[in-house]
Amino acid sequence: MRGAAEVGWRRRSRTISLVASLCAVLSGTASAADGDGSAIEGRWETARKDLVLDISRCAQGYCGRLVTPDNMCERTILTLAIKTDGPLSPAFAGDFAPPNGGRPGYKVRVDVTATAEDKPARMIIIGDVVDPNPMRRSFPYRALLVRVGDPACPARTTS
């Protein structure tokens, strides 16, 4: 009899933990989406550090400048505006030019998710080719970045 009660308590405990975790994730997402979109400002990098962006306000809304491995500010490769439709409003939408320059540009959607206090915020960039060439294969773009600090590169307007 005692074993069945203990199993029931463990199940309830796991369920409570799962619900609490889900609430924490959803509240973190909501807090990242609240306000004017300033949650996207900062220095962001991929796990392999093959893409490092400094994102700050600019005339178009928010601009992301490429940061080289030696910490130099390069060209603007990401321009975003706040997109207010959707469940995680505001999200961001705009244009992305991959750093290697060999591929076409992308129309992207960017979502920022704040996580627990001991973990950094995350940003996902998802996009499709702007002008697909029927004679060449193209692939959607996806990148997961983590906020690693404040931006050091000032935003420049793009033309």
pLDDT at site 66: 95
CA distance 157 to 93: 17
Contact present, 117 and 28 (Cβ < 8 Å): no
Cis previous bond, 90, omega within 30: yes
Question: Taking Cα atoms as reference points, which of 8, 34, 7 lies closest to residue 113?
Answer: 34
pLDDT at site 134: 66
> Mind listing the domains of the chain with CATH numbers?
33-149 (2.40.128)
pLDDT at site 23: 39
Q: Please tell me the pTM assigned to this model.
A: 0.69
CB atoms inside a 10 Å sphere around CB 84: 11
Residue 113 phi, psi dihedral angles, 5° rounding: -125, 120
pLDDT at site 117: 74
Using DSSP's 3-state secondary structure scheme, residue 30 falls into helix
Classify burial at 133, counting beta carbons within 10 Å of its beta carbon; exposed 0-12, middle 13-18, buried 19 or more: exposed
pLDDT in tens, the chain (159 residues): 455 555 444 444 444 443 334 334 444 444 444 445 778 999 999 999 999 999 999 987 999 999 999 999 999 999 999 886 666 556 899 999 988 766 668 899 999 887 667 788 899 999 988 776 666 666 788 999 999 999 999 876 554
Contact present, 66 and 145 (Cβ < 8 Å): no
Alpha-carbon separation of residue 105 from 37, 57, 85, 96, 127 (angstroms): 23, 21, 23, 6, 9
pLDDT at site 113: 86
pLDDT at site 71: 92
